[in-house]
């Protein structure tokens, strides 16, 4: 068993980051949750701007300055599990404001090319993401999605819903074959991939502060404890 464990350590990336999604209806709630997530051990914070009722670019800039911690700014589309309500031009305007302060901006692969290019150009680094809450597309389709996303941005993110254990294994195979790709199999069936995918090369995994934000998320403390057994984290 110790030999297997040692071999697994040799396979993994040395830098695997635990990211905590942070939602709140006002700046105060988000800042408070961010502080709690940092205290729990999160390396990154995904600031879910789509949960803010007030989509004021100046408010977003002030929020990110207050947090002053490595962040991913997201203004998630409803079609991909988000809460944003409004015109696409407004959603992009908010992401562009966040780009000045966030370490990464997450923009969906399905975003219109014109707007996506604007966000990518304005950002320090980008995650180009794909979420599917209904199914896990075939392996070749996922490989194509990852290639498209990493061609456009710095990292790809694939989060899909499994219908069988084989679907979860497909996700692990894809992440093992694609560099700079975050891969997640969601739901209870795929929850184990949140700590196993980093062993296959996923640079970031997502963990909740308290209640799960996405199906199958583990909490920050549990995620960190499991990863620390296999990975020489910072």
Active site residues: 131, 157
Instruction: Give the CA diameter of the chain.
Output: 55
Sign of CA dihedral 26, 55, 149, 143: positive
Are 66 and 30 within 8 A, CB to CB?
no
Spatial separation of the C-alpha atoms in residues 27 and 81, rounded to whole Å: 21
The residues, ordered by sequence, that sit 6+ positions from 145 with a Cβ below 8 Å of its Cβ are 109, 130, 137, 156, 158
For the sheet with 126-132, list strands across it.
181-185, 155-160, 126-132, 104-108, 71-74, 44-48, 17-22, 204-206
CA distances, 30 to each of 23, 34, 35, 101 (Å) = 6, 6, 9, 16
Sign of CA dihedral 100, 149, 205, 107: positive
Residues with Cβ within 8 Å of residue 216, at least 6 apart in sequence = 185, 186, 187, 188, 189, 190, 191, 194
Partners of residue 160 on adjacent β-strands:
132, 185
Cα–Cα distance measured from residue 137 to residue 132, given in angstroms and rounded to the nearest whole number: 8
């Amino acid at each position: 068993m110790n030999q297997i464990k040692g071999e697994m350590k040799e396979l993994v990336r040395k830098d695997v980051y635990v990211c905590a999604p942070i939602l709140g209806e006002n700046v105060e709630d988000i800042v408070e949750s961010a502080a709690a997530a940092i205290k729990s051990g999160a390396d990154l914070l995904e600031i879910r701007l789509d949960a803010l009722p007030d989509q004021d670019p100046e408010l977003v800039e002030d929020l990110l300055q207050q947090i002053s911690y490595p962040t991913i700014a997201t203004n998630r589309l409803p079609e991909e599990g988000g809460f944003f309500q409004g015109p696409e031009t407004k959603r992009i305007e908010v992401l562009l404001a966040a780009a000045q302060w966030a370490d990464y901006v997450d923009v969906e692969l399905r975003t219109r090319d014109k707007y996506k290019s604007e966000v990518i150009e304005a950002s320090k680094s980008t995650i180009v993401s794909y979420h599917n809450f209904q199914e896990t597309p075939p392996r070749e389709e996922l490989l194509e999605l990852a290639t498209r996303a990493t061609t456009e941005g710095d990292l790809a993110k694939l989060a899909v819903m499994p219908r069988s254990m084989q679907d979860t294994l497909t996700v692990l195979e894809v992440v093992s074959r694609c560099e700079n790709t975050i891969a997640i199999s969601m739901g209870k069936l795929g929850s184990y991939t949140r700590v196993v995918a980093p062993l296959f090369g996923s640079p970031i995994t997502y963990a909740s502060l308290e209640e799960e934000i996405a199906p199958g998320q583990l909490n920050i403390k549990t995620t960190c404890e499991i990863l620390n057994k296999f990975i020489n984290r910072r």
